[in-house]
Chain A
Amino acid sequence: MKTGKSLLQTVPGSLSFALSVAMIWRRKGRVALAISGIGILVFLAKAQIGLMVGWTNTNTALIRHSGADLWVMARNTPAWDYGTAIPRQAVFQARSVHGVADAEALFMAWNTWQRPDGRKVNVELVGLDEKFWGGPWKMKSGNLSAIRRQDHVVVDELYLSLLGAHGVGGDFEMYGRRATIGAISEGIRTFTASPHIFTTIANAIEYDRRYGSNQITYVLVKCLPGVSLRTVQSSLRKEIDYAEVLTTREFARRTAAYWMIETGVGFTVVLTAILGLLVAALIASQTVMASTREALPNYATLRAIGFGRKPLVGMVLIQSIFLGVGGIGVGGGFFLWASIATARTPVPLEYTPVTLMGVSFAILIACIVSTAPALRLLFKLDPIAVFHA
């Protein structure tokens, strides 16, 4: 007589693995619940890290997309958003340095945007030089050269509603001076909640009378191909001795460090992510512990009929890893969906392979470590208990 296959016959791998799968299948309702819980916490941890990655990408985006190799700025500039004035003469000084291919100025200052309804919005006014270095790298409608026209600016599509705008052509004010939207950029986010408003340096200085016409904020330097960046950086420091010269990477790092570390934002985010990991580990631990406690008579039987400790430890670990992998799958899937859904919003959840794998790995390790109490229970198990069950 033939029968259909047993669950154990259909599961490949070692006997420990097959028994674990059978145990999980038997408690599938409870396991699904635990996986959902862990999944939510994986999502929370990944979302926190994703927020941090998104913020770091956002607050360094203009630096990274500038195409410059080196940045000249006032000493002790803490971040891109807090640059202070340096003389425009620095551009010419930079151009005179050996190894420099070209240099352009960039102006940055905080300003106030007044909507037609009277509401005021803080903005970061960015003045671009002739070749628009440091400006938006993607346009949604219109051309960046629109800023060359008197009182014309470029804003990003993400902030149109915040700025009270509907598209190209609206009229607004900055410090009592008219501003017309000449074009709209795409994906130029701001970390500070104050949108970037791009215009020419000349226009920008008209909008902010605190600055003189010979003042700028940054000099962006492109080096000749093949020259040593460090050598040019050193020459620039000598030539413009009143300013600080950083590579693009150094400036991006400084800006990210300012926002993430000095303001404490990064600490809060990382702390929340760690809490998520810990609670996920706790759920895994509780589930595996409850499952092990409930199955102790079964483990005692297995010990009595000749199973060593190793396969039983394997069974507990496999169940914990299953919970971890399940949680990573559920939470990771949800996170990827959320990251796609937020891609075109001011606060995107972004990731790098390292952060994605890192959080997953941490969750897995936390789940494995969390089996310790259950394993202790197993090690204390006396197989003689099988006679008293």
Chain B
Amino acid sequence: MIKCRKISHSFGKGGAQLRIINSLDFSVARGETCLLLGPSGSGKTTLLSILGCLLTPDSGEYWLDQQLVRFDAPHRLARLRAEKLGFVFQHSQLLPFLDVLSNVAIVAENLGSTRRDSFQRAEFICDRMGIFDCAKKLPSELSGGQRQRVAIARALIHHPGVILADEPTAALDWERGQDVIGLFVEEAKQGQCALIMVTHDTRLVPYFDRILHIENGNLIEVGKL
């Protein structure tokens, strides 16, 4: 589903240039779940941004669903993100002016579904995520765990090929975090999505198929279950 070949990225210029990603080669197949570990500043979020078509790498090739990503066409990138990718952010990043259902439904409607269909799909996925009871609530009225479930529902509603998650449990206690991750991984597998999750929390390792460690811009595969 994802294939990176010699992806590199640096920040800064001249003598102050800092290489964050160093000629990375890796791939992730459909239905595979990967945990990306690494210390702060190791390049986890940078890599996630490149995989999410939000950041243009300095060099290398990135193939998404057998399609070479052209970073020089921003409007195509937006479409690619809408069609192929699902995102779950550290602080859920739900739209505060929309209720739960609307937060989820807009992704489908942005892809061309009618409003009626989008809301039907949103109701279905919210039901699966156990948040249907709070469908009419605003994000500010939800607990942290509920918010992340909504974020996961938003990432899954359009059946993306790849889901990128940036420390989705960082703001949750361990018990709630476990619940959320368990559900997340299960849904991703059921939907045959490639899931790449960045985290600091090594306790989540058992939930994932592959463990990748990034340090000093280099990616090391630590283990495959």
Chain A residues in contact with chain B, CB under 8 A?
1, 3-4, 6-9, 15, 18-19, 22-23, 25-27, 297-298, 301-309, 311, 382-384, 386-387, 389
* B residues in contact with A4, CB < 8 Å: 136
Residues A298 and B135 in contact, CB atoms below 8 Å apart: no
Identify the closest chain A residue to B106 (Cβ). Answer: A15
Contact with A along B53-82 (1 / 0, CB 8 A): 011000000000000000000110011111
Identify the closest chain A residue to B93 (Cβ). Answer: A301
Known A306-B78, A306-B85, A307-B82; contact A3-B52, beta-carbon cutoff 8 A: no
Residue of B79, B87, B96 touching A308 (CB-CB under 8 A) = B79
* A residues in contact with B48, CB < 8 Å: 387
Tell me whether B101 is interfacial, beta carbon within 8 Å: yes
A318 to chain B, nearest CB (A): 14
A384 to chain B, nearest CB (A): 5
Residue of B91, B109, B110 touching A389 (CB-CB under 8 A) = B91
List the count of A-B residue pairs having beta carbons below 8 Å apart.
107
B115 to chain A, nearest CB (A): 6
**Bound state CA distance, A303 and B99, in angstroms?**
19
**Bound state CA distance, A111 and B87, in angstroms?**
84
Query: Chain B interface mostly helix, strand, loop or mixed?
Result: helix
* B residues in contact with A384, CB < 8 Å: 49, 54-55
**Bound state CA distance, A9 and B101, in angstroms?**
10
Residue of B45, B107, B136 touching A387 (CB-CB under 8 A) = B45
* A residues in contact with B136, CB < 8 Å: 3-4, 6
A380 to chain B, nearest CB (A): 13
Identify the closest chain B residue to A308 (Cβ). Answer: B78
**Bound state CA distance, A8 and B108, in angstroms?**
13
Query: Which of B55, B91, B95 gathers the greatest number of chain A CB atoms within 10 Å?
Result: B95
Residues B82 and A23 in contact, CB atoms below 8 Å apart: no
Contact with A along B136-163 (1 / 0, CB 8 A): 1000000000000000001000000000
Residues A6 and B54 in contact, CB atoms below 8 Å apart: no
**Bound state CA distance, A386 and B165, in angstroms?**
12
